[in-house]
Amino acid sequence: MALKYALLGFIRYAPMTGYDLKKYMELSTRYFWTAELAQIYPTLKQLEDAGWIESEIEPQVGKPDKKIYTITKAGKKAQQEWLKQPLDFLPTVKEPVLLQLFFSGVLDKETILAQLRLQLQVHRDQVKVHQTEIKDAIQEITLFTKLQRDGVMWELVREFGEGYEKQYVKWLEHAIKIVEEKL
């Protein structure tokens, strides 16, 4: 359900193809929201059928034609209504590391520690990505597009991602210490 509103949000910035939408998702929201082209194209069809977006075919030489989507007034209204809806629930989170850890009591201590240490490095690396690549990209895109208000929101989301990763690192360090001491 949220995918259609994410697509509307991106198309609101500029007309885009389905491929463009996937690319922009990978550059911006991939750490907290993503979709495959197999999900994007059917959702674009639904949005077009609902009158929330329109498409135009752009012929290309030597390549398949491009289908470029633009948001309609109805689409802008639908997205704004969605943005105003209060979120008064906690979504179910699927965390494969926690699922493995939950059942890993059957493994030897060194295997568990190796898994935890690997995750620790992955999350430390991700902290750096949030502090450098993502931060720099937000500043550059905000400056280029002059979407200052959006830039403030993008930065808040980036700060959440960095904080989440730092907390994950802290928890993994704690988990490693507990496994070392108690197993």
Read off the pLDDT of residues 133-172 as tens digits, 9 standing for 90 and up: 999 999 999 999 999 999 999 999 999 999 999 999 999 9
Give which of 38, 27, 51 is closest to 136, Cα–Cα.
27
Global model pTM greater than 0.85? yes
pLDDT at 1: 76
pLDDT at 91: 87
Q: Does 90 map to a domain?
A: no
Q: Does 25 map to a domain?
A: yes
172: containing domain: 96-182
Residues of the chain with pLDDT under 50: none
How many independent structural domains does the chain possess?
Answer: 2
CATH number at residue 80: 1.10.10.10
Whether residues 119 and 72 fall in one domain: no
Asked if 17 contacts 44 with a C-beta cutoff of 8 angstroms, the reply is no
